[in-house]
Amino acid sequence: MTDLAMAAPHRPRRMRKLARWFASDIRGAISLTFLLVLFVVSVLAPWLSPYDPLAQDVNASLAPMSAEHWLGADDLGRDTLSRLIYGGMASLYASFLAVAIAVLIGVPVGVLAGYLGGWVDTVISRVIDSFLSFPAIVLAIAVTGALGIGLTNGMISVGIVFSPQLARLVRARTLVVRHELYVDAARCFGGSTTRILWRHVLPNAIQPVIVQVTLLLAAALLAEASLSFLGLGIQPPDPSWGAMLARAYQNMEIAPEQMYPPGLAILFTALAYNTLGESLRVALDPTMKRN
């Protein structure tokens, strides 16, 4: 078994390579730092938020930026900064939930299709193609309608819609890994299919998933914002960036500045996810060279 472990790619060496890359990649480092700060701020929202995000003050309706309300207030007099901080918690929860569901569904399905092949691969591939033939947001809306309106149900639907993308990616990688020498050696030593998949195939087929996950986090964030904007995601009065954007859109002619905080939060967070994904792709792919 020691020989088999030596035959497989040395994962700690990859992690050291990844750490060295981030130390020299300013864009990846900035993106990672931004996301970590956003996560910490969202977790500490009850302590960092200056106001109750649900508290209404009719005297502060559509108040501009001031010392009392740093980012102003919405049409119900709720502090925009407080709702932005709490909205970050909801948006991050939504994106991570959707991607976690996509990984739990897509990765095992992709590994089984790629490793077993035959009719199993054919059936799974046809199902994946059927899902991918529909626009993602349209399919997400349809699944949300079946599950029921709400943030959790909306993100479950997004996760289901995203899972075929991961399944196809993992299947393609598994088709390569299953012919590696260390996998053949495991079969010769009498390893069961479950053990080979868990100990040898999955760890070495998961690399592209790490990159794809960061890209899907950005897509899930945008999907949550879209569903909440349409009223299919988080429900009033709970804040999320998409719901805040929808509320600000209703008062765009009176107070257009209310659209900037949630809009910029969505923009910069999605950009950070995509930039981090690009940095991970370059760091983990030995065929790519630094510009």
Residue 183 pairs in a beta bridge with none
Rounded to an integer, the average pLDDT of 177-192 is: 71
What's the pLDDT at 85? 94
Rounded to an integer, the average pLDDT of 260-268 is: 93
Q: What is the pTM of this model?
A: 0.82
The model's confidence at residue 16, banded by pLDDT at 50, 70 and 90, is low
> Domains in the chain, please, with CATH?
2-53+69-284 (1.10.3720.10)
3-state secondary structure of 257: helix
Predicted confidence (pLDDT) per residue in 76-121, tens digit: 889 999 999 999 988 889 999 999 999 999 999 998 888 888 888 8
What's the pLDDT at 13? 63
Using alpha carbons, select from 210, 197, 194, 191 the residue that is nearest to residue 114: 197
Ramachandran angles phi, psi of 78, nearest 5°: -85, 135
Residue in this structure with the two tokens 């029921």, named with its chain if needed: 148
The residues near 94 (Cβ < 8 Å, ≥ 6 apart) are 151, 154, 155, 220, 221, 224, 233, 234, 240
Give the integer Cα–Cα distance in Å for 87 and 70: 16
Phi-psi sector, 236: left (phi>0), alpha (psi -120 to 50), beta: beta
What's the pLDDT at 105? 93
Residue 79 pairs in a beta bridge with 73
Contact 110, 168 (CB under 8 A): yes
Predicted confidence (pLDDT) per residue in 200-228, tens digit: 777 777 778 888 898 899 999 988 888 88
Going through the chain in order, the beta strands assigned E by DSSP cover: none
Residue in this structure with the two tokens 């890209």, named with its chain if needed: 215
Start-end of H helices in 148-259: 151-177, 181-188, 193-196, 202-205, 207-229, 241-250
**Out of 35-44, 70-79, 178-187, 260-269, which region has the weakest mean confidence (pLDDT)?**
178-187
Predicted confidence (pLDDT) per residue in 50-71, tens digit: 999 998 888 888 888 888 889 9
Task: Specify the DSSP element, H or E, that contains 44.
Answer: none
Contact 289, 111 (CB under 8 A): no
